[in-house]
Amino acid sequence: MTPLPPPLTPPPPASWLRRRVLDPLLNLLKQGLAPGQLALTVALGVVLGLVPLFGATTVLAALLAWRLRLNIAALQLVTHLLTPVQLLLLPLMLRQGARVFGGASANELSVTAIRHLIATNWREALRLLWRAELGALAIWAVAGAVLLAALYLVLKPIFTRIVARQANEDVATS
């Protein structure tokens, strides 16, 4: 008579990062996305998630996903996970953008200075904010192109290995 195998112990609970980020991305891999498409989706999601313009993230992500035939849900997930980073970078990007396009100092873009400017000369306030936003978008476009290329080149081999490992696991369990 053969001895019974020891009882299986349940695995430890998955971490927040695993449950909220890694598992959804791995599930997308199982839905037939090629590694290159997934790498492009994540890289675009990161870059679009950092755009210094509120409201543009969702629209840009949907349009690009549709045009490039990427998974819209995956792209939206990545962009929205970066919202806290976008909020942290926005004041810095606006200050740098104002310097690039308008020669404004950092003091001109403080909350109190903008409130005062709106109360006294709202046209000048709009002009300052417009130049700051255009400059921030220009900085984002240049930095985003570099970041997109770097992320794609790093992520594609990683996702290729994950797909291969998933395929080997599926074959082993069949």
In the chain, domain spans: 34-173
Could you give phi then psi for residue 68, rounded to 5 degrees? -90, 0
pLDDT at 28: 63
Q: How many CB atoms lie within 10 A of CB 97?
A: 24
pLDDT per residue as tens digits for the range 17-70: 888 877 776 676 556 678 899 899 999 999 999 999 988 899 999 999 999 988
pTM of the model: 0.75
Report the pLDDT averaged over residues 146-154.
Answer: 97
pLDDT at 47: 97
Tell me: pLDDT of 100 over 80: yes
Q: Which segments within the chain are labelled E, that is strand?
A: none
User: Which is nearest to 163 in space by CA: 13, 66, 4, 27?
Assistant: 27
